Amino acid sequence: MHFSQMLAGATARHQSQLCVGLDPDPAKFPTPWQGDAARIHDFCARIVDATKDLVCAFKPQIAYFAAHRAEDQLERLMAYIRRVAPEVPVILDAKRGDIGPTAAQYAREAFERYQADAVTLSPFMGFDSIEPYLKYDGKGLILLCRTSNPGGSDLQAQALANGDLLYEHLAKEAAGHWNRDGRLGLVVGATFPRELARVRELAPTLPLLIPGVGAQGGDAAETVRAAWRPDAPIIVNSSRAVLYASSGEDFALRARAVADATRRELDAARG
Ligand SMILES: O=C(O)c1cc(=O)[nH]c(=O)n1[C@@H]1O[C@H](COP(=O)(O)O)[C@@H](O)[C@H]1O
């Protein structure tokens, strides 16, 4: 099934705009798993079990697996999510960006090896670095646009010769001729609500992946007000605030409670 259909289905079925980010850090695992990288899959699987009826998507961040030589655990986790939550799309957060032939390898990694439904990409190298991913029918391609980190302004807020800021130009390209078959989305940080509203204006129907609520301090209700429209999907990510809500044996229960509270806050803000 296409990413956009899965996203619409999980959003409606779970009444949720919340994406739980799977950023497993063994140093933060509950005892007795603390520090044990062999438990990455098990930790994430428990979080998936506890939140799978509350989310519109899951987003594993590949660096948290690769740093611990745990790509095999990521493969197992992707298969696990497909089995226990087949209706929930999985966005592989890889932020890839490279010349065409190398991008083709990254695309193969994301969509064949891990069988992700969507992938995050850095558009810095231009459209030909995005093109190889389009060969995979139905997969979502989510381009960094206005990132949540303070340094995001260093480049993204620079004015171009045509008067647009770089992130505005990117939003226009992604909503315009780059979006050949309607599979592009954009990443915009919840920490910049004004810019979020501007991107929504420039890209009225594109799915927006919005990280930055929870640990980075973005306001969930303000995020919804800035970006949600009835015909425009939003995917609001929270990772650490959910994953590490407790370092005790109740970690999965606490993760569920935080995820549900965030889901309700997002839902209520739709008005
Ligand atoms: O592409 C992303 O997901 C992303 C883009 C961005 O601008 N900011 C951002 O924080 N992220 C990712 O979103 C997650 C945020 O995690 P928390 O701050 O713990 O909720 C991490 O996996 C980041 O790598």
Q: CA nearest 265: which of 234, 235, 220?
A: 220
pLDDT for 193-229, tens place per residue? 999 999 999 999 999 999 999 999 999 999 999 999 9
Question: Which class in CATH covers the domain with range 3-268?
Answer: alpha beta
What angle (nearest 5°) sits at the alpha carbon of residue 59, between those of residues 167 and 261?
95
Separation between Cα atoms, residue 173 and residue 176, nearest integer Å: 5
Provide the mean pLDDT of the chain. Answer: 97
Separation between Cα atoms, residue 109 and residue 107, nearest integer Å: 5
> For this structure, is 95 an active site residue?
yes
From the candidates 52, 95, 139, 172, give the one annotated as an active-site residue: 95
In the predicted structure, residue 170 carries a pLDDT above the cut 90: yes
Q: Quick one: pLDDT band at residue 1, thresholds 50, 70, 90?
A: confident
DSSP β-bridge partners for residue 121: 96, 143
- Region 77-85 average pLDDT: 98
Contact 148, 192 (CB under 8 A): yes
- Output the pTM of the full model: 0.98
* ipTM (interface predicted TM): 0.99
Q: How many CB atoms lie within 10 A of CB 100?
A: 12
What angle (nearest 5°) sits at the alpha carbon of residue 139, between those of residues 189 and 105?
95
pLDDT for 115-138, tens place per residue? 999 999 999 999 999 999 999 999
Contact 25, 64 (CB under 8 A): yes
Provide φ and ψ at 123, rounded to 5°.
-85, 10
In terms of phi and psi (left: phi > 0; alpha: psi -120 to 50; beta: otherwise), the region of 189 is: beta
The pLDDT value given to residue 271: 79
- Region 43-65 average pLDDT: 98
Q: CA nearest 235: which of 259, 266, 261?
A: 266
DSSP β-bridge partners for residue 61: 93
- For ligand 1, is residue 191 a contact (CB within 6 Å)? no
In the predicted structure, residue 163 carries a pLDDT above the cut 90: yes
- For ligand 1, is residue 214 a contact (CB within 6 Å)? yes
Which of 18, 20, 23, when mutated, tests ligand 1's pocket best, judged by the most ligand atoms within 8 Å of its CB? 23
- Residue 2's Cβ-count burial label (10 Å; 0-12, 13-18, 19+) is middle
- For ligand 1, is residue 185 a contact (CB within 6 Å)? no
- For ligand 1, is residue 11 a contact (CB within 6 Å)? no
Going 68 to 110 to 228 to 262, the CA torsion angle's sign is: negative
Q: Going by CA atoms, what residue is nearest to atom 22 of ligand 1?
A: 61
